[in-house]
Every structure is written in structure tokens, then in C-alpha cells.
Amino acid sequence: MKVVLILMVFIFSLAGCSDSQSVKISDKNGTVAKDYLESKGYKVASYEGASEAYILTKEKLMKLPYSN
């Protein structure tokens, strides 16, 4: 179930609302997601790449925005 949810979030994060025709996909998963979205009738305007990884520690949980 978690894998499906993660995949859905990834796919929807690639969907753009722009009329731009340029598509830059740098990894295999991005290409698969792009092809899937285009098969469903969506246009992928851009791909921002993977976000930075971080470790959520007790110190971070004591400060904003993580404490919310």
C-alpha cells in the first residue's frame, strides 16, 4: 500500500499545468512516470528532479516547522 501511495505522489508531482512543450526527465523512473501520464492524456511540462534527503531527528522535531 505504501509503494502505491509513493508512486501516486511521484506521478502527480510530475504533472504540470503549463503549456510548455519541453520535457527533461533525467532518470528511468521519471521516464516511466512521464510515459504513463502522457498515456492518460496529460502533458508533462517539466521535471524538477529528486528532492534532498534528510534525517528527522529529535532536535528538528523540537523546532518549527517540524513541531507542528
**Which residues, 6 or more positions from 50, have their beta carbon under 8 angstroms from its beta carbon?**
27
Cα 43 to chain centroid, rounded: 15
Mean per-residue pLDDT over the chain, rounded: 74
For the chain, domain boundaries: 2-61
**Total-model pTM:** 0.33
Q: pLDDT tens, 36-53?
A: 889 999 988 886 766 666
* pLDDT exceeds 80 at position 59: yes
**How far is 13 from 36, CA to CA, in rounded Å?**
13
Q: At 20, list the grid cell.
A: 510548455
